Structure 1
Amino acid sequence: MADAAGRLTALAEQALGVPIPLRVRAWDGSETGPPGTPALVVRHRRALRRLLYKPGELGLARAWVAGELDVDGDLYEALDLLSGLVWERPAQGPGAARAGAAPRRLLGLARDPATYRLAREVLALAGPGLPPPPPPEEVRRRSGVLHSPVRDRQAISHHYNVGNDFYELVLGPSMVYSCAYWEGPDATLEDAQRAKLDLICRKLELRPGQRLLDVGCGWGSMVMHAAEHYGVHATGVTLSTEQASYARKRVAEAGLADRIEIRVQDYRAVDDGPYDAVSSIGMAEHVGRERYRQYAEVLHALLRPGGRLLNHQIARRPWADEEAYHVDEFIDRYVFPDGELAPVGSTVSRLEEAGFEVRDVEAIREHYALTLRQWVANLEAHWAEAVRLAGAGRARVWRLYMAASALSFEQNRIGVNQVLAVRPTKDGGSGMPRTRADWLGSGRQA
């Protein structure tokens, strides 16, 4: 087929109503588009069939995961150029129209003769055949009530039981899978993750002998840091069996088994409070909007009066019509099944409705962009090993979602916040010093 790239670009521009802002290279070797830009490589005509049957983001995601689409050149630049065409973003301000609607017009959604003609032309370019099955990395069947303990275990297993060796390649020795805290230009990823864990310990004002609960404890880094440097007795809970096994091994090797317990347990099943402090780092994104009030109430009940909660959570921007909010299809099918983001204002409101007093909110959006770029660099530097450990499709999922997420943080489409809250005493006391400098303290106690 001669000049498939030119034909494909012309059809895409006709469907979207805007120029394609980067080069396109097709399976026949043809290429077109602005010189000096990254190239979107369409390796196989199957990618077009995926778009015909699933127009927009999900069709593109399936083609990417299957290896039928790729980028030659800077992935961040390519995603930035494509972002307005592919990902829908809520415009700012009440009543504002939403941007990024073009994909929903793509190939068959508008019922008019011109669209049918366009679809026939794309079908001719795509070649005959049934819609290809989704890549095996996609979550398709889910059972149970949304955000019930059973379904949450399924979702967590999909994302976190990928293999600890794979996560070691991406996250580095810290094994911390949340936004780091970059205190200086020369900091390494390990420095920044230690700084984040220490910041949380200081915000919680941890002291020797106290009890800490870490919900969604991951591979145990927070409980280990708190036990080693602040002398607490820590309990970590996770729904991932692979994480728990890894964390227990780390705890034993560090000689901290007498101060740390790791459980495979839903946070709703924890019943051995009260705790002096609770940390929740990158876990609340899995809770869901309908369950968030319950999440806040459970953590409130597990704290002693005067105890503190540190909730570290990704936030989305408010939508003009909150009822129209829907989860990103790529993220839901391939990355975080059933995950939901909420605006930081909603998080604060639910915490206070549950009885907490919110004392401090720190936005650290730029820090997550830096963290994600480091994770992407780690993955790319160990690409062959990552493919061996997790498979090419899974490695491609992680590379795309982390790079796209880095851009989303940089461009203020999403944020991340540390919310410090207190369960007040009966007389309304918080036990908090009057200034932030005082309650941040001087650091490690043990």
Structure 2
Amino acid sequence: MLQKFFIKSFMKQWNFGNYTIKFWDGETVKIGNDKPKFSLILHQPIPFKLLSKDLSLTFAEAYMEGLIDIQGDYDEIARIIYLHSNRKYLKKYQNPNISSKIDQNKESKNIKSHYDLGNDFYKIWLDETKSYSCAYFKNPTDTLYQAQINKIEHTLKKLNLKPGEKLLDIGCGWGWLSIIAAQKYGVQVTGITISEEQYKEAKERVKSHKLENLVEIRLQNYQDLQEKEYFDKIVSVGMFEHVGAKNLSLYCSKSKEVLKPGGIFLLHSIMVMFEGETNAWIDKYIFPGGYLPSLREVISILSEFDYHLLLAESLRFHYAKTLDIWDKNFTQNLDKVRLLYDEKFIRMWSLYLKSCASAFRVGSIDLFQLLISKGANNELPLTKEYIYQ
């Protein structure tokens, strides 16, 4: 019968789950390899006037007419319809050009050009935690050190960590966030970086705090992560800006691959108002190969990977204040910097710190913390009060 042929042909496209179709003549067709979560029961042939290229519309109208009944999990039906409706986008973004992986050597070189300037250099003008990202000032009088501790605690609170959970820290820097996560929340932390200088010091910090049983620091590229749905939570602070425009989808694909279903991801990144080319000077001298996406660009790509936005917070003015303090520290310690670098470098770095602080103040760039979940997570607290308690 033509109606059965039509339905069977289109149901092959609804291949994102496990269910059965029971036709009016007793034939049962099973979709998926696992135990069915629902059944569509067709009591009689669907009239041609109800048949549509959009199978969701066809079944909905048939259900309205009493021609179909549904038994089982409605949530699973909604999930399948959602995935089917977005399959053209999922195909576009979830199959990134794997050839981009050959750029790992270039990416590593770019990171080294900035973060491997030397631990002694960064120690001159960063705080004791050596946090090289936006601080969080609860009070205007907070020291840089206190504000960086505030930032780490504010970030970790958003993740709602539980003892025993597995946390991935992508771009762990010098390791302070990984250490505090293990100390305060009792989670198992894997921190990865491709900066050899950061890797060496982060390993030493973990050892000095006697946390080897809870914290593992790896010299590893995010592209080489092998764990499948292993981590409960992911945090990435100040790393997303370095993956490059061509690898945004690859980054999202890889993070989704290693995160458990319903897992939580805190993405902390600089973003811009409008898409465009990276500042040529910044690209050549400060962050070669970097790319600042727009907020709407990031949200769009995340949604294609079924990442659900839970909370977005702008820390723009916090970053301007952070940069002002970094610039002050740098300027007050030029005698120490001159032991390491020449005047051309000093002027370059001073310009970088000052110009970035200004850019945040005028709003041409922003800093967002995006709290997202892999798929819908219905186990989270109803409100975000836990972040501020």
Q: TM-score, normalised by structure 2?
A: 0.72
Q: Is residue 244 of structure 1 aligned with residue 195 of structure 2?
A: no
Q: Is residue 376 of structure 1 aligned with residue 327 of structure 2?
A: yes
For 1:258, give the aligned amino acid. Answer: N
Report the 3-state secondary structure (helix = DSSP H, G, I; strand = E; otherwise coil) of the residue aligned with 2:125: helix
**Residue 300 (structure 2) aligns with:** 349
**Residue 173 (structure 2) aligns with:** 218
For residues 260-279 of structure 1, the aligned pairs below 5 Å read 260-273=215-228, 274-279=230-235
**Residue 31 (structure 2) aligns with:** none
Question: What per-residue deviation string (whole Å, max 9, x for no partner) do you get for residues 66-100 of structure 1?
Answer: xxxxxxxxxxxxxxxxxxxxxxxxxxxxxxxxxxx
Report the 3-state secondary structure (helix = DSSP H, G, I; strand = E; otherwise coil) of the residue aligned with 2:338: helix
Contact 1:162 1:390 in 2 (8 A): no
Q: 1:300 aligns with which of 256, 259, 263?
A: 256
**Residue 337 (structure 2) aligns with:** 386
Deviation at 1:251, TM superposition (A): 1.1
Partners of 1:361 and 1:374 in 2: CA distance: 25
For 2:203, give the aligned amino acid. Answer: R
Contact 1:238 1:266 in 2 (8 A): yes
For 1:218, give the aligned amino acid. Answer: G
For 1:357, give the aligned amino acid. Answer: H
For 1:279, give the aligned amino acid. Answer: V
Report the 3-state secondary structure (helix = DSSP H, G, I; strand = E; otherwise coil) of the residue aligned with 1:276: strand
Report the 3-state secondary structure (helix = DSSP H, G, I; strand = E; otherwise coil) of the residue aligned with 2:106: helix
Question: How large is the Cα RMSD of the aligned pairs?
Answer: 1.6
Partners of 2:121 and 2:371 in 1: CA distance: 32
Q: 1:291 aligns with which of 224, 238, 247?
A: 247
**CA gap 1:154/1:145 in 2 versus in 1, 3 angstroms:** farther
Contact 2:182 2:188 in 1 (8 A): yes
For residues 77-96 of structure 1, the aligned pairs below 5 Å read none
**Residue 210 (structure 2) aligns with:** 255
**Residue 316 (structure 1) aligns with:** 272
Report the 3-state secondary structure (helix = DSSP H, G, I; strand = E; otherwise coil) of the residue aligned with 2:162: coil
Deviation at 1:393, TM superposition (A): 2.8
Q: Is residue 234 of structure 1 aligned with residue 185 of structure 2?
A: no
**Residue 380 (structure 2) aligns with:** 432
Q: Is residue 188 of structure 1 aligned with residue 177 of structure 2?
A: no
Contact 2:244 2:289 in 1 (8 A): yes
For 2:251, give the aligned amino acid. Answer: Y
Partners of 2:280 and 2:102 in 1: CA distance: 17
Q: 1:167 aligns with which of 112, 117, 122?
A: 122
Q: Is residue 395 of structure 1 aligned with residue 358 of structure 2?
A: no
Over the matched positions of the two proteins, sequence identity in percent amounts to 35
Contact 1:166 1:390 in 2 (8 A): no
Deviation at 1:391, TM superposition (A): 3.4
Report the 3-state secondary structure (helix = DSSP H, G, I; strand = E; otherwise coil) of the residue aligned with 2:372: strand
For 1:294, give the aligned amino acid. Answer: L
For 2:170, give the aligned amino acid. Answer: V
Report the 3-state secondary structure (helix = DSSP H, G, I; strand = E; otherwise coil) of the residue aligned with 2:282: helix
Q: Is residue 204 of structure 1 aligned with residue 159 of structure 2?
A: yes
Report the 3-state secondary structure (helix = DSSP H, G, I; strand = E; otherwise coil) of the residue aligned with 2:331: helix
For residues 86-125 of structure 1, the aligned pairs below 5 Å read none
Deviation at 1:431, TM superposition (A): 2.0
Question: What per-residue deviation string (whole Å, max 9, x for no partner) do you get for residues 307-331 of structure 1?
Answer: 100000101111xxx5xx2221210
Which ranges of structure 2 fall in alignment gaps of 5 or more residues? 1-98
Q: Is residue 156 of structure 1 aligned with residue 104 of structure 2?
A: no
Count of residue pairs the alignment pairs up: 290
Q: Is residue 358 of structure 1 aligned with residue 309 of structure 2?
A: yes
Report the 3-state secondary structure (helix = DSSP H, G, I; strand = E; otherwise coil) of the residue aligned with 1:153: helix
Partners of 1:329 and 1:377 in 2: CA distance: 25
Deviation at 1:288, TM superposition (A): 1.6
For 2:191, give the aligned amino acid. Answer: G
Question: What per-residue deviation string (whole Å, max 9, x for no partner) do you get for residues 258-296 of structure 1?
Answer: 211111111011112410110110100011222111111
Contact 2:164 2:187 in 1 (8 A): yes
**CA gap 1:213/1:390 in 2 versus in 1, 3 angstroms:** farther
Deviation at 1:168, TM superposition (A): 0.8
For 1:281, give the aligned amino acid. Answer: V
For 2:382, give the aligned amino acid. Answer: R
Question: What per-residue deviation string (whole Å, max 9, x for no partner) do you get for residues 173-196 of structure 1?
Answer: 011111001001221111111111
Deviation at 1:430, TM superposition (A): 3.5
Partners of 1:192 and 1:147 in 2: CA distance: 38
**Residue 412 (structure 1) aligns with:** 363
Contact 1:146 1:338 in 2 (8 A): no
Report the 3-state secondary structure (helix = DSSP H, G, I; strand = E; otherwise coil) of the residue aligned with 1:405: helix
**Residue 68 (structure 2) aligns with:** none
**Residue 282 (structure 1) aligns with:** 238
For 2:346, give the aligned amino acid. Answer: A
> Of the two, which has the highest radius of gyration?
2
Partners of 1:234 and 1:145 in 2: CA distance: 28
Q: Is residue 422 of structure 1 aligned with residue 377 of structure 2?
A: no
Contact 1:218 1:243 in 2 (8 A): yes
For residues 2-13 of structure 1, the aligned pairs below 5 Å read none
